[in-house]
A and B are shown apart, each in its own frame.
Chain A
Amino acid sequence: MEKIISIKDLNYTYPEAKRSAIKNLSLDIYKNEWLSIVGKNGSGKSTLTKLIDGLIEADSGTIEVAGQIINEENIWEARTKIGIIFQNPDHQFVGATVEDDVAFGLENQGMPREEMVKAVDEALILVKMADFKERDPQSLSGGQKQRVAIAGVLATKPQIVIMDESTSMLDPDGRKTVLNLVQQLRSQQDLTIISITHDIEETELSQRIVVLNDGQIVSDGKPEEIYDLGADLQKFGLEEPFTSELVSTLRDTIKLPDGYLNEEELKEQLWKLHSNM
């Protein structure tokens, strides 16, 4: 698999902070992968995204984005390859209308107006927000605002999309729509998704999960492997997924196969037991 981001021995300490936010972190992220980064509050997740996008500068170590080590000269070029969707949708809008906001990134690239009009329309159709083109962002729901933010990111055609706790302020419905949309776009446009969250349930769609604690990677593996950590997850301030909790309670009374079961697998097992009775 092709590497798209390669991080080596990264260190970062916030000015005037005693502890370092990121300690000797090395991580490879592959093309078209959906990677979830989880960890409790203050584990360095958001710092890591800001470092990848060059919004803050590392004390030591290197970050390679699409084959190029980022430094002060090429950071703007690297940023065109990365799109970030932030946590609070209210705090990332620049435009006074939906279309203005989607166009903001394109304006920064100096795209001619005719191309821009087309690109904005396409991006809004992708996120199913074309009917809201002229609306004031303030009049939209949280989920709709995040979809507009996604459109703003997609319009610039990035290779990597970072979601920095983008769904944490949405209701369950909004969260589901946004996540499914991102999943769909990942396969359509060959995007790499880095999703940062502290909710383990939200990592279901990902192919790989990295657990951060105190600025270091403590676990890195497929979702099943990570969910299987059970009590260890709680040590890092994470909740166990619902099915794991249910399975461990059920194991006291009924026999279930070892390892992590997702919702479908658990359902199947329960039906099997039911038909055996």
Chain B
Amino acid sequence: MDKIILGRYLPGDSLVYRLDPRGKFLLTFYFVGIVFLANNVASYAFLLAFVIFAVFLSKINFGFFLKGLKPVFWLILFTVALQLLFTPSANPLWHWGIFTFSKEGLVIAGYIFIRFILIIFISTLLTLTTTPIEISDSIESILKPLKKIKFPVTQVALMLSIALRFVPLLVDETTKIMDAQRARGVDFGEGGLIKRIKSFVPILIPLFVSSFSIAYDLAIAMESRGYKDGEGRSKYRVLSWDRRDNIMVIFMAAVTGILLFLRSY
């Protein structure tokens, strides 16, 4: 479980860390959107330069981002290979049966590869520099307008923050259960597919049961501390939008402008 870097927070301190999480959250989505506007070498090179600049600003070791690629490595390879071999072309360099290898295919495969890298790097940057609780606060704040259509924003936000708070606890619980079952002779990751799936039953059932009992205990504890229904609560944690967040938005607008220019260039 330690290998997955995507979705993990890395404590640190730099400009990127101090930005308002709401802005970071929205702009990350925005960036993923504008990646699809790029259509030529210049625009892709520009976006790549921007992402590397952002990574540099975060002061996080570049190795972490490369590690973030690992879990999706096969997906990237598969997609790139498909593009390489199945892009139709008028004058292919190489042709065999249903496979075509062409200059166009090579270019498209290259674009897709960079697109993957851009999206993964920028989302890794968001999660590495933003604590889970900041992300859930941002989601609450962003969803606030939905209150008008009676969407239970505060409840959903509490649900999110409790879910996040229980991730490490449940990971601990899972390891404990696995060790306990190993001590009783259950072999994980051995044998055929069916046998492997079967060996998960002695983990999943106790895990569900203990999750329910934790949920019950927590509900009782919350009620005893005066939690009613999320209405009339004040908030301890507040987010503050600073001047540097404005600068970030302006900077991002400039990036979009340059991208649009390079695109039609």
Taking Cβ atoms with an 8 Å cutoff, the residues of A that contact B are: 50, 53, 55, 76, 79-80, 82-84, 86, 88, 90-97, 99-100, 103-113, 116-117, 120, 136-138, 152-153, 156
> Are A113 and B235 also in contact (CB < 8 A) when A55-B224, A79-B224, A97-B133 are?
yes
The docked-state distance in angstroms from the alpha carbon of A120 to that of B235 is 13
Check if A152 sits within 8 Å of B225, measured CB to CB: yes
18 sampled A-B residue pairs with Cβ under 8 A:
A90-B169, A91-B217, A91-B218, A92-B218, A94-B218, A94-B221, A96-B164, A96-B165, A100-B236, A103-B236, A106-B234, A106-B236, A108-B233, A109-B234, A113-B238, A116-B236, A138-B168, A138-B172
Taking Cβ atoms with an 8 Å cutoff, the residues of B that contact A are: 131-133, 161-162, 164-165, 168-169, 172, 214, 217-218, 220-228, 232-238
> Are A92 and B221 also in contact (CB < 8 A) when A110-B234, A113-B236, A113-B238 are?
yes
The docked-state distance in angstroms from the alpha carbon of A50 to that of B220 is 9
Chain A residue numbers with a CB within 8 Å of B228 are 76, 108
Secondary structure type dominating chain A contacts: helix
Secondary structure type dominating chain B contacts: helix
The docked-state distance in angstroms from the alpha carbon of A112 to that of B233 is 9
Check if B237 sits within 8 Å of A100, measured CB to CB: yes
The docked-state distance in angstroms from the alpha carbon of A153 to that of B220 is 14
Chain B min CB distance to A104 (Å): 6
Chain A residue numbers with a CB within 8 Å of B168 are 136, 138
The docked-state distance in angstroms from the alpha carbon of A12 to that of B236 is 38
Partner of B236, one of A79, A90, A99: A99
The docked-state distance in angstroms from the alpha carbon of A120 to that of B228 is 21
Which chain B residue lies CB-closest to A53? B224
The docked-state distance in angstroms from the alpha carbon of A100 to that of B132 is 14
> Are A91 and B221 also in contact (CB < 8 A) when A107-B234, A113-B238 are?
yes
The docked-state distance in angstroms from the alpha carbon of A94 to that of B161 is 8
Listed residue (B168, B217, B223, B238) with the most chain A CB atoms within 10 angstroms of its CB:
B223
Chain A residue numbers with a CB within 8 Å of B227 are 94, 104, 108
Chain A residue numbers with a CB within 8 Å of B220 are 50, 55, 86
Partner of A156, one of B218, B221, B225: B225
Partner of A82, one of B133, B224, B234: B224
Chain A residue numbers with a CB within 8 Å of B132 are 96
The docked-state distance in angstroms from the alpha carbon of A50 to that of B219 is 13
Which chain B residue lies CB-closest to A50? B220
Which chain B residue lies CB-closest to A139? B168
Check if A88 sits within 8 Å of B238, measured CB to CB: no
Q: Which 9 A-B pairs rank lowest in CB-CB distance, beginning with the nearest?
A: A103-B236, A91-B217, A92-B221, A108-B226, A96-B133, A105-B225, A84-B224, A138-B168, A107-B233
Chain B min CB distance to A198 (Å): 18
Which chain B residue lies CB-closest to A116? B236
Which chain B residue lies CB-closest to A91? B217
Which chain A residue lies CB-closest to B230? A108
Check if B226 sits within 8 Å of A92, measured CB to CB: no
The docked-state distance in angstroms from the alpha carbon of A117 to that of B224 is 22
The docked-state distance in angstroms from the alpha carbon of A99 to that of B238 is 13
The docked-state distance in angstroms from the alpha carbon of A11 to that of B127 is 53
The docked-state distance in angstroms from the alpha carbon of A100 to that of B238 is 11
> Are A76 and B226 also in contact (CB < 8 A) when A95-B165, A96-B164, A138-B169 are?
yes
The docked-state distance in angstroms from the alpha carbon of A135 to that of B13 is 16
Chain B min CB distance to A95 (Å): 7
Check if B161 sits within 8 Å of A107, measured CB to CB: no
The docked-state distance in angstroms from the alpha carbon of A214 to that of B23 is 59
